[in-house]
Amino acid sequence: MTRQHIVEAALVLADGEVFEGEAIGAEPEGGVATGEVVFNTVLSGYQEVITDPSYAGQIITFTVAHIGNYGVSRDDHESRRPFCRGIVVRDLARRRSSWRSSDDLDGLLRANGVPGIAGIDTRRLTRHLRDAGAMPGAFGTADASTLAAAAAAEPGTEGIDLVSEVTCDAPTVISSTGGARRIVAYDFGIKATILEHLSGLGEVTVVPAYTPADDVLAMQPDGVFLSNGPGDPGPLSDIRSIIAALLGEVPIFGICLGHQLLAGTLGAETFKLPFGHHGGNHPVRNLATGRVEITSQNHNYCVAEGSIPSAQLTHVNLNDQTVEGIRCRDVPAFSVQYHPEAGPGPHDSRYLFAEFEDMMAAVVGPAGGRG
């Protein structure tokens, strides 16, 4: 570790709860970092979580006690940089132990301007968020009254377009690593591991979130992918209009926010979960096979069951019975709320990429059949 001395810090939630700790990572401007405080239950994969763009606007609390044990590796980044507002941990490892690591976690945070706080009683914090719900908070080295005022002023994620913050600026082509398909992937905050799986099906053109449907159809894709991303799907009406123009024209597969946007395009209602689903151990039942899959999840919003007459419910969360997957009845499109690509895991749901290939084959014929 590069830290030479302990700097006292505190976390204050919008409801007034205070947690004392020590500053790690980058120094926030004015000694204050704000965001919506959520908790994640993964036992490993902290680098993948921190670099997942879906955490834009949020402060991540890790429930596992020891974080940073195996350092960080550039190969494990899920995006060009972290978009989260900060991290909260119980114990930050003082020594990294993996031969793959190129830096320690504190170094990653500092290099990317991400503040953090350690020494927090994350069990108490998690229990509080579980009971009171995810809420705005502020942490840093400023005094408690300053942090409390900042927490009260933090708007959270509801009603805010966070996709514009994380999407790419221009199209990028990812070469095929195995297949002959042409796929267009909308970047709402797309993860690198998703692109690895899609490139196994063919060449992938990643486009900015607000790319018009006509521009995408002009590329003559075999399929369109709707990616994961941060925040509330509510304000993203322009994206839903784009998806509406694509439905029925080309096979569509959506994950996480992409699932919510596809469902919203079909008329579904969405609502905010009390504390969201963030972790790598959520059981989901595939209703077609009866098989239970252990899944990785990261979302605060959910599709309301029964609000899409034109779609079939395909997957359900066994913890709270919420919607985890849909398939359209009249057009070639399906989506799931969870992450079948899941780096580092679990890998129970990776078959969904093969189902996307099957859908494209059924609609547009053998790979390379277009154009």
Residue whose structure tokens are 């689903």: 277
Which positions are annotated as active-site residues? 256, 339, 341
Cβ atoms of 87 and 54 within 8 Å: the answer is no
Task: Please report where in the chains the tokens 């926030």 appear, as a residue.
Answer: 28
Q: Residue 32: what residue type?
A: V
First-to-last C-alpha distance (Å) of the chain = 55
Write phi, then psi, for 38 (nearest 5 degrees). -130, 170
- Nearest residue to 184 via CA among 206, 199, 201: 206
Can you say how many angstroms the Cα of residue 200 is from the centroid of all Cα atoms in its chain? Answer: 21
Determine whether 290 is exposed, middle or buried from the number of CB atoms within 10 Å of its CB (0-12, 13-18, 19+). exposed
CA dist list (Å): 254 to 103, 260, 305? 34, 8, 17
10 Å Cβ neighbour count for 15? 13
Using the structure block, give the residue that is written with the tokens 């990653």: 108
d(CA 294, CA 291): 10
Which residues lie across from 315 on neighbouring strands? 286, 325
Task: Please report the DSSP string for 92-145 in residue order.
Answer: E-SS---TT-SB-HHHHHHHTT-EEEES--HHHHHHHHHHH-SEEEEEESS-HH
- What residue ranges in the chain does DSSP mark as E strands? 8-13, 18-25, 33-40, 58-62, 66-67, 86-88, 91-92, 115-118, 135-140, 172-174, 181-187, 202-208, 223-226, 252-255, 270-286, 292-303, 311-317, 323-328, 333-336
